[in-house]
A and B are shown apart, each in its own frame.
Chain A
Amino acid sequence: IAGITQAPTSQILAAGRRMTLRCTQDMRHNAMYWYRQDLGLGLRLIHYSNTAGTTGKGEVPDGYSVSRANTDDFPLTLASAVPSQTSVYFCASSHRGGTEAFFGQGTRLTVV
């Protein structure tokens, strides 16, 4: 594959459950990002990483955690899901210092 892949495509999750959204890229990009997009609204940055081994908080980090053990993978974990985390989640990557970010197809998460 060439590009960035997210899994699962969609998920219905019971409140209180733990969930990890997966993101993998094969472009050797250093920077990776997680966004959430609520229906009818824009993208809000949850967490980001500008190189393997480092992560940073975005605009809406509460309730989410990330790790960056290697260049290719950037999983997003919801430790205890709540209904307000119902959203479409997009993972993206770019070259460090680059302006063009490449996005995955999104994960639609519904917390009930």
Chain B
Amino acid sequence: GESVGLHLPTLSVQEGDNSIINCAYSNSASDYFIWYKQESGKGPQFIIDIRSNMDKRQGQRVTVLLNKTVKHLSLQIAATQPGDSAVYFCAEKAIYNTDKLIFGTGTRLQVFP
């Protein structure tokens, strides 16, 4: 399959540790900020989203934090597993205007046993 993330920043973590993936965004008018996971040879898959008027949202083993002051988004993965190895992208969407979904830079997560 297609190999993605060859030139993207890489985060290497040991299995069982927590992972923190960061993203800077530019468009303050976005209504939602979203995290996607892309495994090699596949299209991205939705993980979790956060509305622009919130600063924290938790899912199953994942937490997204939004800091609008510095335009920063982070994804925290608890007890990282080998199956979490992938490229992670942040994205933003303006729901009430164009419905555009724009992706930001990605981070490659490598989980070691």
Contacts and interface: CB of A to CB of B under 8 A. Distances in A.
A78 interface: no
A108 B43 CA distance: 12
A21 interface: no
Nearest to B7: A40
A77 interface: no
Interface stretch (A11-19, A64-72, A87-95): A87-95
Interface residues of A, number: 31
Contact of A42 (B34, B45, B99, B103): B103
A112 interface: no
A43 B100 contact: no
A92 B3 contact: no
Contact of A94 (B7, B42, B101, B106): B101
A108 B101 contact: no
Interface residues of B, number: 28
Residue of A35, A42, A59, A94 most packed against chain B (CB within 10 A): A42
B86 to A, nearest CB: 13
A88 B49 CA distance: 25
Interface in B28-65: 32, 34, 42-46, 49
B8 A48 contact: no
Contacts of A85: none
15 contacts: A31-B99, A37-B4, A39-B4, A40-B6, A42-B106, A43-B44, A45-B103, A58-B100, A99-B32, A99-B93, A100-B49, A101-B46, A103-B44, A103-B45, A108-B2
Interface of A: 31, 33, 35, 37, 39-45, 48, 50, 56, 58-59, 88, 90, 92, 94, 96-97, 99-106, 108
